[in-house]
Structure 1
C-alpha cells in the first residue's frame, strides 16, 4: 500500500482502518462481506462496519447490497476503491486552503483589538461600537498585532499547495522526463 494512502487512511480511522484497507487491497478487487472481513481481522462486526463506513465516506471503498435467499438478511459486499485517493486528498486540501485564504483575507483587511485577559478579540469597527472595553471583563481593548498570524497562514497555504503539487506529481522530475519523451 502506498505510504501516502496509508497515512490518509490512518488519519481517517486509525490502525484498524489501515488493517482493514490492507485486507481489502490484498483481495485485488474481489468483494468480501463485512462479516468475513471482521473475522479475518479478528474484530467485532460493529467496529469493522464503522470503519468501512468511514472509508465509504471518502469514496475509498464501494459496496454492493444483496438479500440472502435462505435467511432474507441483507448482505453487504465491499471492495477497495483506492484508485482516486490522490484526487480526494487534493480536494480536501483545496477546501482547507480556501478556508485559510478567507481567514487570511479577513486578518489582512482588519485591525484587531483584544483584552489583556484574553477574553475577546475583535476587529476595529466592533471595538469602536463598545468603546474599546471588553464585554466580558470590562478591561480596555488594546491593539493586537496580527502579523505573525498572517505570516503563519501564508506558510500553511504555501505548504498545502506544495503538498498538492507533490501528491499530483507536478514537480516530480521523473514525470517531466516521461512527458518530454513522448
Structure 2
C-alpha cells in the first residue's frame, strides 16, 4: 500500500494521514518517493512516481507551505540553473497539529459566543436554516423559505457540546505543548 513507506517516516501513520489531507493521493506518492532517500530533486521524484513534473512541484510547494518538506538549492555549473533538493520534515508534524487544533478551537469559541449571544428560531423543516431573533423578527416570525411559523429553539445542548469540545481541545493542546 502507498501509505506504508510514509508510515515508516512518520511512525504511527499520523504523518501519512496529514500528508494525504494536505495534498491527496499525489502527496502520498511524493512523500513515499522522498521517504526512501535523504533528499531528491523534483525531477527524480517525478520519474519515480511517474507523475508530471508540475504536479510534483505543486505537491512539494504545499508540503513546504505546511513545513512538512524543505529544500536546499544549488546552482548547476553547466547550465546555470538552480537545482532544488527536497526532503521530508516529519518532526514538524507536531507544530502543524498544534496550529490546526488552535484554529479549530478558536472557531469553536466563536461559535460558542454566537450561540450564547443569540436566540435561535427555526420552523422545524430540515431544509430551512435557523435564524437569529433579529432576523426572525424582521420576517414576522415566519420562515422566509417555507412560511411556517418560527419557534424558539433551546440551544443549551449545543452550548454544552461546544464547551465540552473546547475543553477537550484545550487539554489536548496543553498536553501537546509540553
Is residue 126 of structure 2 the alignment partner of residue 120 of structure 1? no
Q: Report the CA distance between 1:40 and its aligned residue.
A: 2.2
TM-score, with structure 1 as normaliser = 0.76
1:134 maps to: 143
Shift of residue 51, structure 1, vs aligned partner? 1.5
More displaced stretch, 157-166 vs 103-112:
157-166
Q: Name structure 2 gaps, 5 residues minimum.
A: 1-8
Which of 13, 17, 24 aligns to 2:23? It is 13
Partner Cα distance (1:75, 1:115) in 2? 62
Quick one: distance in 2 between partners of 1:159 and 1:7? 22
Structure 2-normalised TM-score?
A: 0.77
What is the Cα deviation at residue 17 of structure 1? 1.9
Structure 1 residue 122: Cα displacement: 1.4
Report 1:29-178 matches (<5 A).
31-71=39-79, 73-117=81-125, 118-165=127-174, 167-168=176-177, 170=178
1:167 positional shift: 4.0
Size of the alignment, in residue pairs? 167
CA RMSD for the aligned pairs?
A: 2.5
Give 3-state SS (helix, strand or coil) of 2:141's partner: coil
User: Which segments of structure 1 move beyond 6 Å, counting only runs of 4 or more?
Assistant: none
